[in-house]
Amino acid sequence: MRDRARMRDVAVVAVAQSHHVRRDQARNEVELLMPVLHEVKAAVGLDQSGIDFTCSGSTDYLAGSAFSFVATLDGVGAYPPISESHVEMDGAWALYEAWAKIQTGVADSALVYSYGKASPGSLRDVLSRQLDPYYVAPLWPDSVALAALQARACIDAGVTSVAEMAAIAARSRRAAADNPFAQIRGSDDPEVLLKDAEIAAPLRLHDCPPITDGAVAVILAAGDRARELADRPAWIRGIDHRIEAHALGVRDLAKSPSTRLAAEAAGVADGPVDLAELHAPFTHQEVLVRDALGLSDGVTINPSGGPLAANPIMAAGLIRIGEAAGRIQRGDANRAVAHATSGPCLQQNLVCVLEGGA
């Protein structure tokens, strides 16, 4: 991203998402996703033949079956054969791949989607399978326990406090009252939340994201194609992602250096930030990410409610980009930062800077 003059202008021109729920027992993955794909294409008046590249993000470990993403391609309309790719990552990284594809000049438009149907399995255990298979995964540390280790490290380092964490939970879920797609919409006061028992010290239930079934889709377009498709495209002015070591023991869990590096490369500090959509599934992680991004106190964080209000695994990061883009498209913001994370304890982080304007 150093040489921006040579980059193609690429924008988010449409976003759609499902109404997120704890358990969608009636529908399979393609039935969950397909209405979202139809909605996002209809928003810009395109059918699949008008889309140059399609990229999705999901994980077989949620469905418990190999190549499960091939089944959801059935909702795309992939015939005549389309140019298509998939990442076993959050959809934010599928968007990164689509953005890179458009940069090469072989595509002017892209459909990006992701979905996570966590309800068939035990999510806390499923996520333990992403850990180092020799020394950590055999111990089956679940995702909440690992987040608790990080929260403890943050509290001990003076990064945050249980009171600030409860305030983040309450603010997020109250903000979600205005988000018709959110799963948890509303909260008790922080003082009330703090009376609950810890579920994995120092985390209480309100510090943890809900378990969610949901899907999201985004359409990207370059330059004049974007201006044709949308009145106010949300231009991607910078995007970058960085990763930290797989071994938890070699990381300082009370910092997020990969977020900081991605933020520098994406140019977060190059202008004022109106709002930020942060993929910080646990309350303490919002503080880490906010600090690593260098956001000032005045920046509105997660007006959608964020992942504490709905957290479909593999989709919640792309939803952050979609929410930030949607606010720019509606004229509620002119410059926004979206963040996505992957892996345990914020191992990998993606930062995207979006702007309105011509």
Partner 1 sequence: MTDVVLPEALRDVEPVRSIRTPARLEYSFTAGEATSRFLRGIADKRILGERCPQCGKVMLPPRGSCPTDGVATSEQVELADRGIVTTFCVVNVKFSGSAMKLPYVCASVLPDGGDMGLFGLVQEIPFDQIRMGMRVEAVWVDDDELAPNLSSIKWWRPTGEPDAPYESYREHV
Nearest distance in Å: CB 214, partner 1: 14
Place of tokens 């993955």: 29
Site for partner 1 in 138-167 (CB under 8 A): 138
Annotate each residue in 107-126 with x if it binds partner 1 (CB under 8 A) or - if it does not, as one string: ----------x-xxxx--xx
For residue 265, give both structure tokens: 């490369």
Residue 42 sits in the site that holds partner 1 (CB under 8 A): no
For residue 45, give both structure tokens: 């008046």
- 31 or 224: CB nearest partner 1: 31
Q: Which of 22, 27, 227, 246 binds partner 1 (CB under 8 A)?
A: 27
Q: Which of 105, 133, 249, 298 binds partner 1 (CB under 8 A)?
A: 133
Q: Which of 1, 7, 21, 30 binds partner 1 (CB under 8 A)?
A: 30
Q: Which of 13, 37, 220, 295 binds partner 1 (CB under 8 A)?
A: 37
Nearest to 289 by CA among 349, 217, 335, 233: 349
**End-to-end C-alpha distance for the chain, whole angstroms:** 20
Q: How far is CA 310 from the centre of its chain?
A: 11
Q: Which of 4, 31, 224, 245 binds partner 1 (CB under 8 A)?
A: 31
Residue 85 sits in the site that holds partner 1 (CB under 8 A): no
Q: Which of 4, 8, 129, 330 binds partner 1 (CB under 8 A)?
A: 129
Nearest distance in Å: CB 210, partner 1: 18
Q: Which of 76, 219, 314, 318 binds partner 1 (CB under 8 A)?
A: 76
- 37 or 89: CB nearest partner 1: 37
Place of tokens 């005549």: 80
CA pair distance 191, 152, nearest whole angstrom? 20
Nearest distance in Å: CB 168, partner 1: 31
Nearest distance in Å: CB 88, partner 1: 16
Q: Which of 11, 12, 16, 34 binds partner 1 (CB under 8 A)?
A: 34
Residue 78 sits in the site that holds partner 1 (CB under 8 A): yes
Residue 24 sits in the site that holds partner 1 (CB under 8 A): yes
Q: Which residues bind partner 1 (CB under 8 A)?
A: 24-31, 34, 37-38, 48, 61, 63-64, 71, 73-79, 117, 119-122, 125-126, 129, 133-134, 137-138
